[in-house]
């Protein structure tokens, strides 16, 4: 308790996109847990790496252990640079993550890092892509409600998992029609 108010940990995550491998009860356990307990998720992450990256089981477990505990180390006397020392706003962290996830089969997401920083908070300027709808190839470009959902996502708004899930579900419904 701080100042008579009970505090509850609602989220955590240092390394990009790792929490998406956990669902249901495991997701809640991760969000409320501490990095010291992350070894309980090695098998889940290893299983995902086997399927996503084609890793053999032993190699998948070894790689998963390098990704857990979910801690991002930072030495302030050195420049920030992902994945070796923290993370700078200009680091393209998803490219590093995709390469690990796919066992080197995919090395770029072709989005690139944010390049238009502001001098003060919130530090990130408007999105670098003029329109998120351009991320879809022409034959898969969403229509109607899904298009509006993607269009409303605008930096410096943080793109949350909920936003992506909502837009993805809308797109899937439209494709089924």
What lies within 8 Å, CB to CB, of 76 at 6+ separation is none
CA–CA separation, 152 and 43 (whole Å): 37
DSSP state of 40: G
Distance CA 148, CA 160 (A): 16
Return mean pLDDT, the chain: 75
Q: What is the pLDDT of residue 2?
A: 60
Band (14; pLDDT cuts 50, 70, 90)? confident
Q: What percent of the chain has pLDDT over 70?
A: 64
Confidence of residue 169 (pLDDT cuts 50, 70, 90): low
* Domain ranges within the chain, ordered by starting residue: 7-113, 118-177
pLDDT tens across 58-73, in order?
999 999 999 888 888 8
- Encode pLDDT of 116-138 as tens digits: 788 888 777 765 555 544 444 44
Helices 57-67 and 42-53 meet at what angle, rounded to 10? 120
Burial class of residue 95, CB neighbours in 10 A (0-12, 13-18, 19+): middle
The residue ranking higher by pLDDT, 10 or 155, is 10
The predicted pLDDT at position 40 comes to 92
């Amino acid at each position: 308790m701080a100042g008579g108010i009970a505090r509850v940990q609602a989220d955590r995550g240092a390394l990009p996109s790792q929490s998406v491998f956990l669902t249901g009860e495991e997701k809640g356990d991760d969000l409320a847990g501490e990095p010291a307990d992350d070894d309980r998720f090695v098998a889940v992450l290893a299983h995902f790496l086997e399927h996503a990256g084609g890793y053999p089981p032993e190699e998948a477990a070894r790689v998963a252990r390098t990704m857990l505990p979910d801690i991002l180390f930072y030495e302030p006397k050195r420049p920030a640079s992902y994945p070796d020392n923290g993370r700078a706003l200009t680091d393209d962290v998803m490219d590093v993550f995709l390469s690990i996830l796919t066992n080197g089969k995919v090395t770029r997401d072709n989005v690139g890092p944010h390049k238009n920083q502001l001098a003060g908070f919130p530090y990130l300027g408007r999105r670098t892509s003029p329109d998120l709808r351009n991320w879809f190839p022409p034959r898969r470009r969403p229509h109607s409600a899904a298009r509006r959902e993607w269009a409303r996502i605008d930096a410096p708004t943080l793109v949350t998992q909920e936003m992506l899930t909502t837009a993805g579900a809308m797109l899937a419904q439209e494709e089924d029609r």
